[in-house]
Chain A
């Protein structure tokens, strides 16, 4: 195996390229974009909302089994954007880790601790040659006891940040531009405003109006702290409110 100057292997495994870049990590980011789905997350004053497109590629598929929105514990949700198979394996490990945390320490795993754990795991894949990075960007949402509503985003490079609003997937940059304008003056959205900002951001970026069955919405609210996936009826209410508002 020729390894002197990367020998072409800097594109196959996560070693440095001559410019100091990790090509495999960059390709993992491309895989997330190539999945063709865009997701949005918005943090309000006392709630967090995440929205993603629900693309069912085949009419024969059972729609209820096509999902990218996963509860990790009763109080923590994870929205995965990218390769579905990688997402499922990440979710499985995250669920295990959160349950062990609860057992070991006697209290629920906080949002930022889970986000850090996922990010640290992703970092290992960028440094060890035997495993490739996962082609998933994960958005974690939950209510922190001390800090209130929290939205974290973890990427294949192992970065993680808390966000006031964020996006991932095919139209990530357009969505972020849209959200930056909306969040410029640090608004404190109510629950309805949070959900509607998230949904209308997705509509604006993809330039289409959705039916309730074409998107998935997950929320967590300070009043009950439980992560909930909204039903099609609840999504319909918000969609109607948005179209009436415009």
Chain B
């Protein structure tokens, strides 16, 4: 990968045994816009702030939450351009799995393959780690699942998680509110309330994005008007 001149790894151990490039990548994630996910008993919701640099930006041209397969969606915190690379690779891996096994890829396997890509960029020559953490939400035969993947390539399954700027407040909020019996609608409300906690300015259907997957196993990004409806209920 890369030019032969750079066939050495840029991510190397410091004397104290840390991989500092990965730590810096996590710092980059920590300064990204807040995103979160909640696993309900009958589905998963992921949500993110969508703060654009100017009112001149056409917000309809920007979609942060992406579909990887019809039953798996993903949101990121950190560097947008890096997330596009991962989304593209993951989609391709899902298709290749389907071509080989004629079955939709299970959520854990797609997460593992994506995490492998991220790990490769911490070890290969001439490249830097990805500056994003991903929240992957899916529904397959094992039920609703939520995974977080970090720049190091490590991944964990979560009942609820948050990433980005407001992570500590968001996580405490989620810890208080989360219940195992929560249903998808409650989860969406909780997600909105969590985002509202750290939100600077007026929250609206245009500056947040919400993606849900329920028993129907179809991942869907809510339209701004659907988000507005949920926001009004949460008032």
Contacts and interface: CB of A to CB of B under 8 A. Distances in A.
B3 to A, nearest CB: 4
Interface band, chain B: 35 or more
Which of A17, A119, A123 has most B Cβ within 10 Å? A123
Given A15-B128, A129-B10, A184 B55 contact: yes
A103 interface: no
Contacts of A119: 81, 84
Nearest to A43: B58
Contact of B129 (A13, A16, A183): A16
A236 interface: no
Contacts of A184: 55
Interface string B1-25: 1110110101111110000110011
A106 interface: no
Interface in A102-155: 112, 116, 119-120, 122-123, 126-130, 152
Nearest to A124: B85
Nearest to A165: B56
Contacts of A19: 24, 27
Contacts of A71: none
Q: Is the interface of A mostly helix, strand, loop or mixed?
A: loop
A20 B79 CA distance: 10
B56 A130 contact: no
Interface in B28-43: 28-31
B14 A5 contact: yes
A206 interface: no
Contacts of B21: 15-16
Interface stretch (A50-58, A156-164, A209-217, A238-246): A156-164
Given A119-B81, A183-B55, A129 B60 contact: no
Contact of A130 (B3, B24, B25, B80): B3
A129 B8 CA distance: 10
Given A16-B129, A129-B126, A162-B61, A5 B56 contact: no
A179 interface: yes
B127 interface: yes
Given A6-B24, A120-B81, A162-B62, 5 more contacts: A4-B13, A5-B14, A14-B128, A22-B128, A158-B84
B57 interface: yes
B164 interface: no
